[in-house]
Amino acid sequence: MAVKELRINGAIRVKEVRLIDQAGNQKGVVPTAEALAMAQEAGLDLVEIAPQAVPPVSKILDYGKYKFEQEKRIKDSKKKQKLIKIKEIRMQPKIERHDLEFKTAHIKEFLDEGNKVKVTIRFRGRELAHTELGRVVLDKVLELLEGSFLLDKPPLMEGRFMSMVLNPKVAKPVSVAPSAEAELAE
């Protein structure tokens, strides 16, 4: 989680910079030596915060504190991200009814938890000549799940495997019409 290293103080090698002081006020384009002297006078660092700009934008601030704030902001943004996992369920084309229902129940649990599910049929030996049997099994899975998923990737052959990917269905909040709310209040 390293923050992109910025040039500070003596590492800034350009002739002039667009300076922002510690209060956040723009001082305009200033020679780098003068900006560095102003930073040292304030007991802070001169940090090049936008090196791609012409001239580069530099700010007078406490570099340690700035770096800490950047890392904290990155950690907070990662906390808010939801990690979607892909779960895989493997079957064979000659699966028994009970086993199919049992595995379909697991698929439903995974979808209810908000995970994507990859359902895979593995063909071995001569089974590869009868891929339509695998398609029938996947169709039965879709039939058993009936409406609790969104089909992300339809059943396709990939070598010795036929697979499809299911997304969890997003529950939409039910809104009550204003006239219905009035009736409920009475």
Instruction: Express each pLDDT in 127-170 by its tens digit.
Output: 889 889 999 999 999 898 888 888 888 999 999 999 999 998 87
What is the pTM assigned to this prediction? 0.51
Residue 45, pLDDT > 90, answer no
User: Is the bond leading into 55 cis (omega within 30 degrees of zero)?
Assistant: yes
Range of lowest pLDDT (92-101, 139-148, 168-177): 168-177
- Domains, the chain, in order of start with CATH, read 9-78 (3.10.20.80), 86-168 (3.30.110.10)
Which pLDDT value is given to residue 106?
92
Distance CA 107, CA 102 (A): 9
Q: Does the pLDDT value for residue 103 go beyond 60?
A: yes
Give 14's contacts (C-beta < 8 A, 6+ positions apart).
32, 55, 56
